[in-house]
Chain A
Amino acid sequence: MNAIPLRLFFTSAVLFLFSILSPVSYADPPSDKACLRCHGMATLAYQDPTTGGVRNLAIDAKAMARSEHRKLSCRDCHGTGLDDFPHFQEAKRERLECLKCHEKSQAFPRERFEAINKSFERSIHYQAMPETFTCFSCHDPHDFRAISGQSGADLPGVVAQDNAACRRCHDSSEGIRNQTGRLFATLADTHAWLPETERHWGKVRCIECHTRGRYKQHHFIVGKNDAVRACEACHSRNSLLAAKLYRHRIRHEQRTAGFIHSIVMNDAYIIGMTRHPWLDWGGAVLVALTLAGVAGHGLARYLSARSTPHEHHH
């Protein structure tokens, strides 16, 4: 669907890196190329004196070319104050909001953003840091890809992408301290109770457990007291993952493989979705039959041995 523009964008990004650049005239609005002259540097960043954290200013042109916003140019979002170099003061003043752009979008109606905003405002992040925590604290609009836009095949990619957003801050004590001024225990410590911790983190998103409720509440991030801790919340027939992580995949599979196949043949292992009562019963019956067979055989031998007369040795 998006193959052609994507390729075009990608090509232009590559062209930027390798091609001739005519000198940038600052009288004209700068092109993406001009912005990427600096912001294309992979290590463009500085240590924020107020937080001590590193503010990354680099744009990965390749990631941008894959993102939801791939069709946009820099100037579509960023204002005119940034035409001249340097512009760190102007950039600091700039206040961008998702809703400003998405007000009139057909593809993404305002109501949905408002719903997101509502649940976001109940989240632990917003509650703790209403001034500083914004959409951009987690979502980098330059490489953001919505889960619905990605086919079911790339779940690990989705998980990695979404968890990276959390881990950007939560992976190190400094990450959180930079935001909150407080020191927290490390993820490994707080999740020590969770069996197969790393495997869970690779297969499911943090927000599966750390959001309240089910569908459409993905932005209501909750802390450890309210997070899901019960294994069976996911590992059951009625897994909450079906409403969260697997929602789009199930829809995708139903579309491509048909309803029955998607239920019976899906490749989820362990989660609970493959659990079928008939198979359970069948297994139990098999075990019972085997035990009965062994017991019957033993009994028969015992009985036949008793009926045979004993021989005596000299």
Chain B
Amino acid sequence: MNATTFHPARHIKRIALLLGLGVTIGVVRWIYPGLLESYIGVTNAPLTYANSVALSDREFETLADSLTRAHREERALAQTAEEDVPFARRLKINLLMKTGSFAKKAPFPHIQYFRKAGIRQYQGPETCLGCHETIKVTDEQGRIQEVDTMQDVVESVHFKFQSSSGGFSTYGFDGRQVNGAGVRPIPVGKIDRACGVPGSFTWTGWADLVTTKPAHANGATETRSEGCGQCHIGGGYHPATEQMLPLHNAPASAKAGIDCLICHSPTYDMNERYVIEDGNGRRWNQDRSMKAALTVGPPTSQTCLYCHQHNMGGDLEKSLPPGAAPDNLGHKNKRLLHPGAKRGTSFQPDHDVHAAAGMACTDCHKPQGHKIPRGTMGVDLVANDLPGRKVDCESCHTAAPHVKDPEDRALLNGHVARVSCEACHIKKLRDDNTVLRDWIHPVWNEEEGAFVFKDVFQSGLAGRGFTFLWFNGNGTFLANALGDNPVGDGSYNPLMRQLARIEDPMAIEAIRASAMELAKTYPDLDVEKYVKEATDPLSTLSPEMLEKRKKMIEEKIRPIMAKGQSKIYPFKVFNAIMYEDMNNQGPFGAMILPFDYPSYYEGGDPLASVKRAIGHPIIRRMYQTPFKLFMMDEFMRYFGVEKWQAEYPLDKEGNLKNVEAHWMRQMGSLMINHGIRKEGRGCKDCHAKSGILDFVALGYPPERAEELRNLPELR
């Protein structure tokens, strides 16, 4: 054997191997994304924005000057707020506007940066990355790392809306931690989670145009914008679906469409946020004007609230500061407002002590690069960028936060072991806090000129709009707080009691009144049956299902309830009646089917709207084998259903199969942490015969419960 002899076979093998590798890389890099796009039915195309225009030098200077002056005026107004005589105040403002030292402070450093760099047009991330290609990020250990800015943004939950890794404090009804140890991770988060608050989810309700007939228009129609994309920093025709699929990342056009300014510009004009339609489909417009770009800086409470107002005070909160999202609905195609607050916890100075103190969201939610912590506790299935990072009261207020009254302070601090701060310091939610939402009996809204869902019950009061539960930081797959009474008698069982039943007589009366109102439009509606199902959703489960539920709670959920140190927390409660795919029903609920917004709002026919929504390509894919294997089987196991029955609920004739309307079998419980009042509750708010805490339902032995209601010290 001679080593130098030419061996064609061996070389051919090597060449073939190299070629194969090259082809594979090529396929994954260039062909696969296209195939995937067509498979999930999404479109990617370069995005343009009409308001991204180049300014002349003169226009630039005029704009810069007016922004600086406006900011100075704002400060002068604030500084003279104490002056009661209007004329004197005006004079003072004028003086301040001319005062050198007052004027000198350059509020917007980017004016100078842009001026020097010759930047006269804002073109989205491209412009930002020109200087900020990388940023320095300090991690929890204090180590400083330089990261690629775009990658940092694209990997954040604010962009991708999901997480395919661990860090969820959520447990499936099968007892497994979502994406926990020993579990094959699947992408979960807002992107793929249908929910009863919006009635749809990001895939089917991204960017829609709705034709309305408002009463004030005298028969004329108005086009309105609606969809989940209004609060998303990506600018494309669909959410970041590609990123949750294997071997794929956010496409270049999606990256170029990121809206940096909605978080970073205090002069961002929410009127630019509306749905536009072009040759490739519908998407959300954004403010790419130089006016917004020149004031760029770290996020402020106002910029966070452009989106988060929706889940805090709600869309209908009044007296918001200028520029707030609900008061600036769009230069055209105005966004539809959503009545009924998701949490009803306002972050405005008159409702929240921290807002009143002028604090920014990022004081507590301290960002790490573009990743924002949401705390270590969480009931809902929302992805968490920084699962280990705490966002809590104690970090600032210490474990002994009550300091003033020497008679009470120690006793109040004594409660900290068992009672969360929020339990006493959130006394009330906004009145329009939604508890029960009916999606299947739309009602005509004169003002909006559209059919809208009916909020059957709204309340901001303790025991009605929110309840108190033991909480150890974990939640179920359907947002039920988990925890247990550390000195209880084992009877605490919120999934069979607090969250599965509405017992408050006034609440039941209000629900009955709503049902009777609905019956005027829907004569077939059986009011008593309706009230029964809304207030006791377990009544719709078969005896076998009910048994299975009890067994699963005892075997799978109890061990998670017993984890850690539980405290009593307040939880906003919520339930919705929607259409469900009954092939995928378990003891805790069935797969919710989404609504298509335009057909719902325009036609008021919820069934037609469901049919249209599930005709969306990605829903079809959900009911096919690849998606079943990729994620749906796992998803349903968490849901408390053995596996995904991939039977498409729409037959060839276009009829729905095995689809029924139901309330979820228990109410969801949403953590509430804002709307914090300086003055907490008094002793007798809880320790009284009709106190806000139901000590028996909270699992105290009856005698202890009686004692807690009747403390000798308070007699």
Which chain B residues border A58 with CB–CB below 8 Å? 414
A43 touches B400 (CB 8 A): yes
Judged by a CB distance under 8 angstroms, whether B713 is at the interface is yes
Q: List B249-268 residues whose CB lies under 8 Å from chain A.
A: none
Given contact pairs A43-B415, A57-B410, A85-B713, A20 touches B703 in the complex (Cβ within 8 A): yes
On whether the beta carbons of A47 and B415 are closer than 8 Å, the reply is no
Query: Hey, which chain A residues are within 8 Å of B406, CB to CB?
Result: 46, 88
A18-B701, A20-B707, A21-B707 known; A86+B417 contact, CB < 8 A: no
Q: How far is the CA of A289 from the CA of B399 in the complex (A)?
A: 66
By DSSP majority rule, is chain A's interface helix, strand, loop, or mixed?
loop
Q: Restricting to A4-56, which residues have a CB under 8 Å from any CB of B?
A: 17-21, 23-26, 38, 41-47, 49, 54
* In the complex, per-residue mask of B50-84: 1 if CB is within 8 Å of any chain A CB, else 0: 00000000000000000000000000000000000
- Chain A neighbourhood of B710, CB < 8 A: 23
A46 near B703: Cβ-Cβ < 8 Å:
no
Known: A45-B400, A47-B400, A54-B400. A88 touches B417 (CB 8 A): no
Q: A46-B403, A54-B399, A86-B407 in contact; A41/B414 too (CB < 8 A)?
A: yes
Residue B487 at the A interface, CB < 8 A? yes
Chain A residues whose CB sits within 8 angstroms of the CB of B417 once the complex forms: 41-43
The reply on B704 being an interface residue by CB < 8 A is: yes
How extensive is the interface on chain A, given as a class? 20 to 34
Find out whether the CB atom of B399 lies under 8 angstroms from the CB atom of A43: yes
Assess A44 versus B411: contact at CB under 8 Å? Given A54-B398, A85-B713.
yes
Decide: A47 near B416, CB < 8 A? Known: A18-B487, A85-B713, A88-B410.
Answer: no
Chain B, interface residues (CB within 8 Å), range = 20 to 34
A45 near B410: Cβ-Cβ < 8 Å: yes
**Chain A residues whose CB sits within 8 angstroms of the CB of B703 once the complex forms:** 19-21
Chain B residue with Cβ nearest A40: B414
Contact A23 B415 (CB under 8 A): no
CB interface residues, A 41-91, toward B, < 8 Å: 41-47, 49, 54, 57-58, 85-86, 88
Q: Which residue in chain B gives the minimum CB-CB distance to A87?
A: B407
Q: Give CA–CA (A19, B418) in the complex, Å.
A: 18
Q: State how many angstroms separate the Cβ of B215 from the closest Cβ of chain A.
A: 57
A38 to B402, CA, bound (A): 16
Max chain A CB contacts within 10 Å: which of B416, B701, B704, B712? B712
The chain A residue sitting closest to B416, CB to CB, is A43
Q: Which residues of A contact B409 (CB under 8 A)?
A: 46-47
Q: Is B413 an interface residue (CB 8 A)?
A: yes
Contact present for B712 and A46 (CB under 8 Å)? no
A57 to chain B, nearest CB (A): 5
Contacts of B416 in A (CB 8 A): 43
The answer to whether A46 touches B413 (Cβ under 8 A) is yes
Point out which of A24, A46, A85 has the most chain B C-beta atoms below 10 A from its C-beta: A46
Which of chain B's residues has its CB closest to A88's CB? B406
A177 to B402, CA, bound (A): 21
Please tell me which one of the listed residues B413, B701, B707, B715 contacts residue A44 in the complex, with CB atoms under 8 A apart.
B413
A10–chain B nearest beta-carbon distance, Å = 16
Q: Which residues of A contact B415 (CB under 8 A)?
A: 41, 43
Q: Given contacts A17-B487, A47-B403, is CB(A38)–CB(B707) below 8 Å?
A: no
- Contact (Cβ within 8 A) A44 B414: yes
- In the assembled complex, the CB of A36 is this many whole angstroms from the nearest CB of chain B, namely 11
Give A251 to B418 CA distance when docked, in angstroms.
Answer: 45
Contacts of A47 in B (CB 8 A): 398, 400, 403, 409
Please determine whether B402 and A24 come into contact, CB atoms closer than 8 angstroms: no
A43:B701 contact, CB within 8 angstroms: no
Some 8 contacts from A to B, beta carbons below 8 A apart, are A17-B487, A20-B707, A23-B710, A44-B410, A44-B413, A45-B400, A46-B413, A88-B410
New A-B contacts (6) at CB < 8 Å, excluding given A23-B707, A26-B712, A43-B414 = A17-B487, A43-B400, A46-B409, A47-B398, A57-B410, A86-B407
Q: Closest 4 A-B residue pairs measured CB to CB?
A: A41-B414, A44-B414, A20-B703, A42-B417
